[in-house]
Amino acid sequence: METVWEWFRWLDKTHGIDLSVFYDTGDRHRFLMGFLTTILLSLTCLMSSLAIGFIGAWAQQSQWRWARLAVGAFIQFFRNTPPLVQLYFFYFAIGGMLPKFADASGMASPLFGSFFWAAVSLSLFGGAFNIEIFRAGIEAVPRATIEAAESLGFSKGQIFRLVAFPLALRFSLRALNNNMVNLVKTTSLAYAIGVPELLYVSAQIWSDQLNTREMMTLLLFSYVGLVGAMVWGMHRLERALRMPGYGQ
């Protein structure tokens, strides 16, 4: 491994291509931690946005008018505002209003840090789109299938869980895939509230080393790799869930 790092040092010395994240131990550690933070933030947001999408789509089918109205308002609010504005809103407006608690050193500090607010804000943002995606999937389930389930004596809840949603999920996968890719890319906005993710650590590194061009390029390829891996996984899922006669 050491020879690989030394090769990058040589690349810097002789060709002026300064990829300090490979030969400098400190930068390497920073970059790796940034990469892990991006992955962790992405996974958290993906999972919770899916949960929000599921619950929202279910509530949208509800008989209670207020539940449908609440979901509608939620979607309007989070789909129609820029994610960066939402991040600032949660971190500075909501975070600043919450009560503070004494930490180990006896200082009053806020309950939640920047990572938490980034995860909350991006999950809600991604979730709002997921609700719509699931809804479109549910509406695509043939009316006859639902009627068949009704005539077999399924309850409304059972129909949603056992018939409509499994079909809707398959119809939604393609659109869901797009939204998930977008969400992973949007995690880079967390840079603005000081979450040490990939873009944040890269900015720190290029400010110290002044190797902006190299870092920008590396950053781009890092995201290509990350999103590529996720898309590959989603395609595997799409194939695994494939049902002959439905869409494929």
Contact residues: other proteins, CB under 8 A: 15, 17, 26, 91-92, 95-96, 100, 105-110, 113-114, 191-194, 200, 203-204, 206-210, 212-214, 216-217
Tell the smallest beta-carbon distance from residue 25 to other proteins (Å).
Answer: 12
**Closer CB to other proteins, residue 132 or residue 197?**
197
Of 38, 31, 57, 51, whose CA–CA distance to 135 is shortest?
Answer: 57
Tell the smallest beta-carbon distance from residue 100 to other proteins (Å).
Answer: 6
Q: How far apart are CA 246 and CA 248, in angstroms?
A: 6
Chain position carrying tokens 């995201």:
223
Burial class of residue 244 in the structure, from the number of CB atoms within 10 Å of its CB (0-12 exposed, 13-18 middle, 19+ buried): exposed
**Closer CB to other proteins, residue 92 or residue 232?**
92
Tell the smallest beta-carbon distance from residue 217 to other proteins (Å).
Answer: 5
Q: Are 137 and 169 in contact (CB under 8 A)?
A: yes
**Closer CB to other proteins, residue 85 or residue 243?**
85
**Closer CB to other proteins, residue 138 or residue 189?**
189
Q: Are 201 and 34 in contact (CB under 8 A)?
A: yes
Q: Hey, what amino acid is at 189?
A: L
Tell the smallest beta-carbon distance from residue 103 to other proteins (Å).
Answer: 10
**Closer CB to other proteins, residue 122 or residue 138?**
122
Query: Exposure string (b/e) for 99-114, b if CB count within 10 Å is 16 or more?
Result: eeeeeeeeeeebeeeb
Tell the smallest beta-carbon distance from residue 16 to other proteins (Å).
Answer: 8
Q: Are 53 and 134 in contact (CB under 8 A)?
A: yes
